[in-house]
Structure 1
Amino acid sequence: MPLILYQRDHCKLCDQALAVLAAARVPEFTSVWIDGDEALEARYGTRVPVLRDDARGRELDWPFDAAAAADFAAG
C-alpha cells in the first residue's frame, strides 16, 4: 500500500506525526516535502502533515493519533 506523508522542512507538527506513525508501527511510507512545489503547496500548504493512501485516494489530516494512523494504514 503506497502511503505518503506530505510534510514541510522545519515543521514541528510533521516531527510529531513521524513519531505517531512510528508508535503506530505504520508500514513503509514515503515522505514528500511540499516546500517549493507550487501544486503541493496549494493543495497541502495549510494542512501538513497529511498521510495519503494513494491507492485508495484517501487522506488523513493532522491531528491524528497512533490508533487512527494504524486504522488508516490497515485500510
Structure 2
Amino acid sequence: MITVTRLNGKPFSLNAIYIETVESFPDTTITLTNGKKYVVREPHDQVMTDIELFYTRISLLGKVKAEEDHDGE
C-alpha cells in the first residue's frame, strides 16, 4: 500500500499493485486497473518513487533488478 493525499487534504492508502497509470494533467491522476481514478496532491515523481519502494518491499521489484544486474555482467 502507498499513502497519497486527496486534493481536499485527506490522506488514504492505495494498493499499488492495482495501479495502471500515473499521469499529470497538471494534477497527478492515478488510474487503477478497474478504471477508477484518483486525483492526488503528491507530484508524479513522488508517487512513482512510492510505488517502486512498495514493489521492493514486497519483493516484486528486487528480483527484477537483481536479474538485470546479473545480465549486465
TM more than 0.5: no
Structure with more strand by fraction: 2
Larger Rg: 2
Structure with the bigger RCO (C-alpha within 8 Å, sep 6+) is 1
The TM-score normalised by the length of structure 2 is 0.25
